[in-house]
Structure 1
Amino acid sequence: MSPTLADEIRNRLGDLSPAERKVARVLLAGYPAAVFETVATIAERASVSAPTVLRCASRLGYKGFPDLQAALRSELDARTASPITLYEASGSSERRSRPKRSEEASDARLGDRLALLQQAVSQTFEEVAPQEFSDAVRLLSDPRRRVHVAGGRFTHLLAQYLGLHLTQFRDQVDFMPDRDVERTSFLTQLTRRDVTVLFDYRRYEADKTVIAELARERGGKVIVFTDPWLSPAAAHADVVLITQVTSDSPYDSLTPALALIESLVAAVLDQVGTEGHERMKRAESVARRTGLL
């Protein structure tokens, strides 16, 4: 996954002149909308000349300011892509109309798909900031905190996977209610003791951003799992865990996210220690006694 335009600007700040850095900061402060302002407007906001804005775009590696804006349009198109647009862009419909492949060709294709997933998982683990991961482990292993998890259309499966594992070895883990009245009551009771874990991948869901805002307003902590384009909820998060979504189908892959969740669960269990082991034994005893095992 290539870096976003905002990432590129941040990474190149050191290469810019003081006047050009003023332009870059204006672009970052109002990103992404600020990039679509006129050169004159950006120059005025940065208190520099129009030629300085143009030089900044050039120093960032673009032919001109319209070229920089075009790059952002492409990024935003990717950020809001749906399975339908991805299907059409990938040429999947053309592949389906072709004659069926031989068994040998199909085997080779399976190998290509495996390589793609392996690359996505590897890139996810390489790019996750160690401090972000450590902060997530610290928050989720703190017995004084309550943990709430919520996902979206498909990512509710990831939320359930994380939550069900956490319930095995720690107390006070809840799933965000689906029904309106129950969810409203649930969100009203959020406090500074709470850790809210949200899964929000493109196309982002507005309620996840609102939940993150409410949790922060009440002094709680927020962990957001998202894709490289970043859910709007990430702006309100204490921890942001970014996972790749590359796949060879119109559907984003959640395999890297699942792999990161399993690593997080293992790290949290290590941090909880013997108390987690005792909690697991008590839970299994209850399950056997009630005929659930």
Structure 2
Amino acid sequence: MADQIRRRLGDCTPAERKVGRVLLSAYPSAGFETVAVLAARAGVSGPTVVRFVSRLGFSGFPAFQAALRADLDDRSASPLSLYRSRDVADATGADEALARYAPAAEEAVRRTFADLPPSDFSRAVDLLARDARRVLVVGGRFSRLVGLYLVQHLQQMRPDVEYVTDRPEGRTHALADLGHRDVLVVFDYRRYEKDSARLAQFAVDRKASVVLFTDVWLSPVASLADAVLPSDTGTASAYDAMAPAMALVEAVVSAVLAELGDVAHRRMERIESVGAALDVF
């Protein structure tokens, strides 16, 4: 739902966009307000709210809220609940599990790129390739692995790229000098982590840019981000798929390399030279 709202903002009237932004800024709780309260928060009329949800394809505000409740269940799904809903227990043996998993994973990657917002992808690449003085990356319990993958590639192409440790004192040191020319890259997937939102808000307060890698339900960080790159994490497992997120990171890496061109090439040559001198490679 959050992803759908965000995608449709460009098709809306200015008044309808106000409704969409209020919904995204306090998603999903704002959607459970009455039409009158939501209209007052957005500074528009009640009929504007109704027209907005109709533009999303709903017959009325009650239908919108019903879909929102279902979306909320999906956003908070745990591996245990996914184990039940995806009938993981029904698979008998490795062969059947593979037969179920492979097509689901392939489809998730396909949907990720089919639904990828081109403007957000371009903005993310531009921030990572040209605009940033520093790139700081943070991730969650599992997504930190994808974040580290991005860091190791970007470090080959440009300086001042760092993965921010989970340790509080390490984060304090890394973020102490955060400013308007810096970029914070956040990896945040359901069940979304409170630290991610706190760090993103900290970055925004200091005029830094935020790039978000998330799932189709959209992390709360989406309302703060300059670029949002969602992945379809659907799979036939009790765990959400990170392969689509990894594929998306690799697409970003490829695009950043193309943008940096000779700058990246020269840095890669210097790294190889230092590695040879130190007998690393």
- TM-score higher than 0.5 here? yes
Larger Rg: 1
CA distance 1:286–1:85, shift in 2 (3 Å): same
**Residue identity in the other structure for 1:37:** E
Q: Which residue of 2 aligns with 1:110?
A: 98
1:33 deviates by: 2.5
Give 1:74's aligned amino acid: A
Please tell me whether residue 120 in structure 1 is matched to residue 108 in structure 2.
yes
User: Residues 119-174 of structure 1: CA distance to partner in whole angstroms, max 9, x if unpaired?
Assistant: 11111112112221111121111276211111110010011000001111211111
Counterpart of 2:118 in structure 1 is 130
Structure-1 residue corresponding to 2:226: 238
Superposition pairs of residues 169-188 of structure 1, within 5 angstroms: 169-188=157-176
Equivalent position of 2:73 in the other structure = 77
Instruction: Using structure 2 for the length normalisation, give the TM-score.
Output: 0.84
Q: Greater shift after overlay, 185-194 or 253-262?
A: 185-194
Shift of 1:53: 7.8
**Residue 143 of structure 1 contacts residue 170 of structure 1 at CA under 8 Å; is this kept in 2?**
no
The answer as to whether partners of 2:9 and 2:20 remain within 8 angstroms in 1 is no
- The list of structure 1 runs, each at least 4 consecutive aligned residues, that deviate by more than 6 angstroms after superposition, is 52-60
CA positional deviation for 1:58: 7.7
- Which of 172, 185, 199 in structure 2 is aligned with 1:211? 199
Cα gap change, 1:76/1:269 in structure 2, threshold over 3 Å: closer, same or farther? same
**Aligned partner of 1:161: which letter?**
Y
* RMSD after superposition: 3.2
Q: 1:114, CA displacement in angstroms?
A: 2.2
Higher relative contact order (CA 8 A, sep 6+): 2
Q: CA deviation at 1:7?
A: 5.8
User: What amino acid maps onto 1:245 in structure 2?
Assistant: T
1:39-50 aligned within 5 A = 47-48=45-46
Of residues 234, 244, 252 in structure 2, which corresponds to 1:264? Answer: 252
Aligned pair in 2 of structure 1 residues 185, 58: CA closer, same or farther (>3 Å)? closer
Q: CA separation of 1:71/1:286 partners in 2, compared to 1, >3 Å: closer, same or farther?
A: same
Q: Aligned letter for 2:72?
A: L
Which structure 1 segments of 5+ residues have no match? 15-20
Matched, 1:88 2:84: yes
Q: Which runs of 5+ in 2 are unaligned?
A: none
Percentage of matched positions with identical amino acids: 43
Residue correspondences, number:
276
